[in-house]
């Protein structure tokens, strides 16, 4: 066998990357990935299986139509992705860098940008986890980024950024500003959809992953049709498989049920926030998303003890000092988590 050092062969920007952590830690209660705790019982149109020998509709026309009706945007303003992750990949592939984003935020902006060999510019959030507008504007002036990613509500901090600051960034930037609204359904903030018509350099990312369909991998980009057209050039032809298209289509018929689940999650979030606030040495950050970031002493140890006590959360202490992120579960799961946390600290 030939002796090949693949690490030397791989592109230099890939060398320092690590595969995404896919190891599942089995736990009674899974509150680590910002999924919905509710599974909606959906049967896709049976005809889909009778055509499974065929490629799926590359344009996902029917699904785009359903999204178009639900969000009141034109189909020409929609691009679908195998999760919004894929759309981030496509945006950076199509437009390149520099890529600017505040930190801490969703890690994929930086990972994908590095994988594609683009320059990342990371600007720390201020102490309220809002955008440090002066430094953001200075970075825009200095680097002229092609893409700016703003997750609002922000993962993992949970807050929305000030709309005024986001607008200032949209107005100042010559590049594209992507408002990543993965968690918008849980927020009292309406998001940036109503402004799409006013700003050609604004794009919005949404996903079905947080509202009950993480397993489907369906995300959508909403933007000016010319912008969509450019990103569509790098999209793989059949990126959305036939089953995902069919199930997502049915999902849009369950709007009421999904909305009531979202209501449950947001009211549970407020209850969990109160519960967490009452525990000594635990301080939660207010959240507009389906998770809560909280500080606790010795977060690494608490994280491990929580696993032993049956609950998996996300350890974010390398990102925000001494912090863990818990996804909002069902009423029962949240009670189980609170009990486990009390035993773990
Ligand atoms: N954006 C943000 C801010 C996220 O937190 C996530 C999921 N963690 C995504 C995008 C990706 O979601 P998906 O690929 O499942 O649509």
Nearest-atom number in ligand 1 for the CA of 210 is 15
Ligand 1: distance of its center to the CA of 119 in Å?
Answer: 21
Tokens of 225: 């049709």
Phi then psi for residue 301, to 5 deg, are: -70, -45
Q: Yes or no: say if 219 and 86 are a contact pair by the CB < 8 Å rule.
A: yes
85, 86, 184: which to mutate for ligand 1, most atoms within 8 A of CB? 85
- Residue carrying structure tokens 């009990």: 339
Q: Tell me, what's the pLDDT at 211?
A: 97
Ligand 1: distance of its center to the CA of 85 in Å?
Answer: 6
Q: Is 219 in the pocket of ligand 1 (CB under 6 A)?
A: yes
Residue 293 pairs in a beta bridge with 325
Q: 121-126 contacts: CB < 8 A, separation 24 or more?
A: 121/145, 125/154, 125/157
Q: Is the pLDDT of residue 169 over 80?
A: yes
- Residue carrying structure tokens 């590049």: 175
> Mean pLDDT in the chain?
96
Ligand 1: distance of its center to the CA of 343 in Å?
Answer: 31
pLDDT digits (tens, 9 = 90+) for 93-144: 999 999 999 999 999 999 999 999 999 999 999 999 999 999 999 999 999 9
d(CA 238, CA 188): 35
Calculate the dihedral angle through the C-alpha atoms of 315, 292, 206, 176, rounding to the nearest 10 degrees: -80
Q: Tell me, what's the pLDDT at 210?
A: 98
Q: Tell me, what's the pLDDT at 189?
A: 86
d(CA 149, CA 204): 10
Ligand 1: distance of its center to the CA of 82 in Å?
Answer: 11
Task: Work out the pLDDT band at 25, boundaries 50, 70, 90.
Answer: confident
Q: Yes or no: say if 179 and 171 are a contact pair by the CB < 8 Å rule.
A: no
Ligand 1: distance of its center to the CA of 84 in Å?
Answer: 6
Tokens of 341: 């946390």
Q: Is 268 in the pocket of ligand 1 (CB under 6 A)?
A: no
Q: Is 102 in the pocket of ligand 1 (CB under 6 A)?
A: no
pLDDT digits (tens, 9 = 90+) for 279-296: 999 999 999 999 999 999
d(CA 51, CA 245): 13
Q: Tell me, what's the pLDDT at 43?
A: 85
d(CA 78, CA 115): 25
pLDDT digits (tens, 9 = 90+) for 65-89: 999 999 999 999 999 999 999 999 9
Q: Tell me, what's the pLDDT at 336?
A: 98
Mean pLDDT of 262-273: 98
Q: Is 85 in the pocket of ligand 1 (CB under 6 A)?
A: yes
Q: Tell me, what's the pLDDT at 122?
A: 98
* Helix/strand/coil for 154: coil
Mean pLDDT of 247-271: 96
- Residue carrying structure tokens 């199509």: 94
Q: Is 344 in the pocket of ligand 1 (CB under 6 A)?
A: no
Phi then psi for residue 109, to 5 deg, are: -60, -45
- Residue carrying structure tokens 């994988």: 115
Handedness of CA 134, 135, 136, 140 (dihedral sign): positive
Ligand 1: distance of its center to the CA of 261 in Å?
Answer: 19
Nearest-atom number in ligand 1 for the CA of 86 is 14
Ligand 1: distance of its center to the CA of 209 in Å?
Answer: 7
Q: Tell me, what's the pLDDT at 258?
A: 96
86, 105, 106, 156: which to mutate for ligand 1, most atoms within 8 A of CB? 106
209, 316, 328: which to mutate for ligand 1, most atoms within 8 A of CB? 209
Ligand 1: distance of its center to the CA of 345 in Å?
Answer: 30
Q: Is 285 in the pocket of ligand 1 (CB under 6 A)?
A: no
Q: Tell me, what's the pLDDT at 65?
A: 97
d(CA 126, CA 131): 6
- The DSSP-derived string for 200-263 is TTEEEEEESGGGTTTTT--EEEE--HHHHHHHHTTS-TT-S-HHHHHHHHHHGGGHHHHHHHHH
Ligand 1: distance of its center to the CA of 276 in Å?
Answer: 25
Q: Tell me, what's the pLDDT at 20?
A: 82
Mean pLDDT of 191-201: 96
Q: Is 247 in the pocket of ligand 1 (CB under 6 A)?
A: no
Mean pLDDT of 182-192: 94
Q: Angle at the Cα of 302 (from 300 to 306), degrees rounded to 5?
A: 120
Report which protein residue has its CA nearest ligand 1's atom 12. Answer: 84
Handedness of CA 246, 249, 251, 253 (dihedral sign): negative
Total Cβ atoms within 10 A of residue 226: 9
Q: Tell me, what's the pLDDT at 45?
A: 79
Q: Distance from first CA to last CA of the chain, Å, rounded?
A: 53
- Number of residues in the chain: 345
Task: Work out the pLDDT band at 157, boundaries 50, 70, 90.
Answer: very high
């Amino acid at each position: 066998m030939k002796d090949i050092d693949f690490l030397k062969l791989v592109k230099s920007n890939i060398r320092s990357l690590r595969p995404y952590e896919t190891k599942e830690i089995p736990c009674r209660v899974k509150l680590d990935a910002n999924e919905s705790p509710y599974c909606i019982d959906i049967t896709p149109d049976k005809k889909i299986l009778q055509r499974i020998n065929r490629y799926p509709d590359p344009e996902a026309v029917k699904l785009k139509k359903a999204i178009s009706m639900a969000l009141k945007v034109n189909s020409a303003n929609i691009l679908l992705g195998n999760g919004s992750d894929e759309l981030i990949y496509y945006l950076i592939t199509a437009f390149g860098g520099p890529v600017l984003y505040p930190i801490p935020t969703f890690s994929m902006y930086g990972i994908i940008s590095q994988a594609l060999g683009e320059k990342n510019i990371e600007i720390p959030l201020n102490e309220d986890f809002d955008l440090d507008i002066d430094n953001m504007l200075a970075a825009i002036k200095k680097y002229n980024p092609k893409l700016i990613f703003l997750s609002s509500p922000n993962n993992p901090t949970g807050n929305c950024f000030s709309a005024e600051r986001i607008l200032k960034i949209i107005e100042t930037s010559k590049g594209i500003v992507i408002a990543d609204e993965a968690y918008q359904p849980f927020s009292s903030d309406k998001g940036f959809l109503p402004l799409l018509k006013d700003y050609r350099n604004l794009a919005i990312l949404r996903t079905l992953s947080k509202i009950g369909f993480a397993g489907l991998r369906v995300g959508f980009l909403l933007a000016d049709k010319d912008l969509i057209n450019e990103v569509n050039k790098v999209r793989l032809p059949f990126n959305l498989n036939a089953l995902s298209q069919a199930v997502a289509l049915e999902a849009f018929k369950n709007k009421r049920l999904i909305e009531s689940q979202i209501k449950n999650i947001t009211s549970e979030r407020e209850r969990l926030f109160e519960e967490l606030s009452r525990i000594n040495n635990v301080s939660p950050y207010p959240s507009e998303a389906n998770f809560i970031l909280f500080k606790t002493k010795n977060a690494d140890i608490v994280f491990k003890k929580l696993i032993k006590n049956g609950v998996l959360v996300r350890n974010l202490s390398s990102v925000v000092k001494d912090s863990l992120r818990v996804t909002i579960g069902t009423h029962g799961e949240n009670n189980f988590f609170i009990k486990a946390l009390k035993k773990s600290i």
